[in-house]
Amino acid sequence: MSMPLLGEKVPAFRAKTTHGIINFPDDYKGKWVVLFSHPGDFTPVCTTEFVAFQRRIDEFRKLNTELIGLSIDQVYSHIKWIEWIKEKLNTEITFPVIADDRGQIAELLGMIHPSKGSNTVRAVFIIDPDGVLRALLYYPQELGRNMDEILRMVKGLQVNDQHKVALPANWPNNEIIGDQVIVPTASDVETASKRLKEYTCYDWWFCHKKI
């Protein structure tokens, strides 16, 4: 099993999807991508996840972010399941779903964990506009994902890119500094001494600001 590491380019691949053939990452240049795997079509937890992703798709797209699903199922199964979701749950799935029926992409990205079975686990890859892996989450098959946390991660990574700051726990609702962000720690004596005058600080190594 291989797995791309944080800060590395995600391996390129060509895949059949419910929206036709895609070439990744070339077809998504300039966009953020949330690429996620699910264990299988016509399963209860995965169904709830697809509905949850779809109902937040406008929020993702406001962040210049596209969703791509994946499982080791044939495209015909994906299409029928998506039809079922639309008919029974009144939700039309508008993002593409990769039909990785031979498991090659799942193997390439480390989405199959043998001790959890032969299907993909619930992996989430957050990929930036340059095709670089910025965050990686793995959930077991028995635990559905929190879509609001995935949205928060995309927002936080974009804030980091724009402002070169760090984000505290539970941002933007941190228990200590609320929605403020953390200024990078000073790396020399002169900068450390200036920090207390330039920002609100608990100490020179813990300064924060509004953005």
Q: What is the pLDDT of residues 79-88, one digit of tens each?
A: 999 999 999 9
Topology annotation, domain 13-145: Glutaredoxin (3.40.30)
Cα 189 from Cα 27, distance rounded (Å): 47
Q: What is the pLDDT of residues 169-200, one digit of tens each?
A: 999 999 999 999 999 999 899 999 999 999 99
pLDDT score, position 120 = 80
DSSP secondary structure letter of residue 140: -
Given a contact cutoff of 8 angstroms between Cβ atoms, the answer to whether 108 and 13 are in contact is yes
Region(s) of the chain under CATH 3.30.1020.10: 164-211
Active site residue 201: no
Number of neighbours of residue 100 by Cβ within 10 angstroms: 25
pLDDT score, position 111 = 81
Topology annotation, domain 164-211: Antioxidant, Horf6; Chain A, domain 2 (3.30.1020)
Q: What is the pLDDT of residues 130-152, one digit of tens each?
A: 999 999 999 988 899 999 999 99
**CA 90 to the chain's CA centroid:** 25
From 10, 46, 112, 207, the catalytic residue: 46
Which residues, in sequence order, are bridge partners of residue 123?
A: 138
Number of neighbours of residue 163 by Cβ within 10 angstroms: 13
> For the chain, where are the alpha helices, taking DSSP H only?
44-54, 57-62, 75-89, 104-109, 147-163, 189-198
Residue with tokens 């724009």: 162
Region(s) of the chain under CATH 3.40.30.10: 13-145
Q: What is the pLDDT of residues 17-45, one digit of tens each?
A: 999 999 999 999 999 999 999 999 999 99
Given a contact cutoff of 8 angstroms between Cβ atoms, the answer to whether 64 and 97 are in contact is no
Q: What is the pTM of this model?
A: 0.93
Q: What is the pLDDT of residues 90-137, one digit of tens each?
A: 999 999 999 998 878 888 888 877 666 557 889 999 999 999 999 999
Q: Which of 185, 188, 182 is nearest to 200 (CA)?
A: 182
